[in-house]
Amino acid sequence: MSYESMLAETVAFTGHKGNVGEAYYARPLGPGPWPGVVLIHHMPGWDWWIKEATRTLAYHGFPTIAPHLYFREGPGSPDDVGARVRAAGGVSDEQVMGDVRGCMNFVRAQPYSNGKVGVIGFCSGGRHAYLAACTHPDFDAAVDCWGGNVIVDDKAQLNAKRPVAPIDLTENLRCPLLGLFGNDDENPNRDQVNRTEAVLKKLGKTYEFHRYDGAGHAFFNAARNAYRPEQALDGWSKVFAFFDRHLATTAAARAA
Nearer to another protein, 17 or 86 (CB): 86
Among 124, 135, 196, 231, binds another protein (CB under 8 A): 124
Judged by beta carbon, residue 99 or residue 185, the one nearer another protein is 185
Sheet of 177-182: strand order equals 6-14, 20-28, 64-67, 34-40, 113-122, 141-145, 177-182, 207-212
Exposed, middle or buried: residue 41 (CB in 10 Å: 0-12, 13-18, 19+)?
buried
Does 84 participate in binding another protein (rule CB under 8 A)?
yes
Choices 22-30, 85-93, 194-202, 238-246; region in contact with another protein by CB under 8 A: 85-93
DSSP class of residue 17? G
Q: How many residues bind another protein (CB under 8 A)?
A: 34
Q: Is 162 in the site for another protein (CB under 8 A)?
A: yes
In angstroms, the Cα distances linking 91 to 16, 18, 186 are 12, 16, 23
Type of residue numbered 41:
H
Short-list 126, 138, 8, CA closest to 62 = 8
Among 10, 157, 194, 250, binds another protein (CB under 8 A): 157
Residue 169 C-beta: closest distance to another protein, Å: 17
Binding residues vs another protein (CB under 8 A): 42-45, 47, 76, 78-80, 82-84, 86-90, 123-124, 148-149, 157, 159, 161-162, 186-187, 216-218, 223-226
